[in-house]
Amino acid sequence: EVQLVESGGGLVHPGGSLRLSCAASGLSFMDYEMNWVRQAPGKGLEWVANISRSGDMTHYSDSVRGRFTISRDNAKNSIFLQINSLRVEDTAIYYCASGGLCTTDVCHNTAYFQHWGQGTLLIVSS
């Protein structure tokens, strides 16, 4: 069974920093691109960041580029999201989500979100 377990959420003041983690099990981790997707309270889903299987390529939404950094440690089957310069509008549940299984050079056709964690809540408030 695939499990993605997020941690690191909490209450942070505006302007602060936080690091979210996601530990994966039950899958061949290096065969999956990984993502962070967030959901503000009562709102829809918003993709935040993506990282390639090797970790050498990353992509971000415009709303977080320059403040958020996604990374991964394939030896520990984990991904991370370093969040700096936090804003009130960053308040959300942050989900870790894998792409589909990708065993080819390019993962474009498996770029949906196949496996999801339970989410970790980040509240940004003074």
Partner 1 sequence: DIQMTQSPSTLSASVGDRVTITCRAGQSIRSWLAWYQQKAGKAPRLLIYQASILESGIPSRFSGSGSGTEFTLTISGLQPDDFATYYCQQYDIFPWTFGQGTKVEVK
With 0-12 / 13-18 / 19 or more C-beta atoms within 10 angstroms meaning exposed / middle / buried, residue 104 is: exposed
Candidates 70, 119, 120, 122; binder of partner 1 (CB under 8 A) is 119
Q: What are phi and psi of 30, to 5 degrees?
A: -75, -5
Q: Find the radius of gyration of the CA atoms of the chain.
A: 14
Tokens of 5: 């377990």
Q: Which of residues 17-76 bind partner 1 (CB under 8 A)?
A: 37, 44-47, 50, 59-62
* Alpha helices (runs of H) in the chain, residue ranges in sequence order: none
Q: Binding segment for partner 1 among 7-15, 18-26, 84-92, 106-114 (CB under 8 A)?
A: 106-114
Q: Does 120 bind partner 1 (CB under 8 A)?
A: no
Candidates 22, 117, 120, 124; binder of partner 1 (CB under 8 A) is 117
Q: Does 125 bind partner 1 (CB under 8 A)?
A: no
Q: What are phi and psi of 62, to 5 degrees?
A: -60, -35
Residues that bind partner 1 (CB under 8 A): 37, 44-47, 50, 59-62, 95, 100, 108-109, 111-114, 116-119
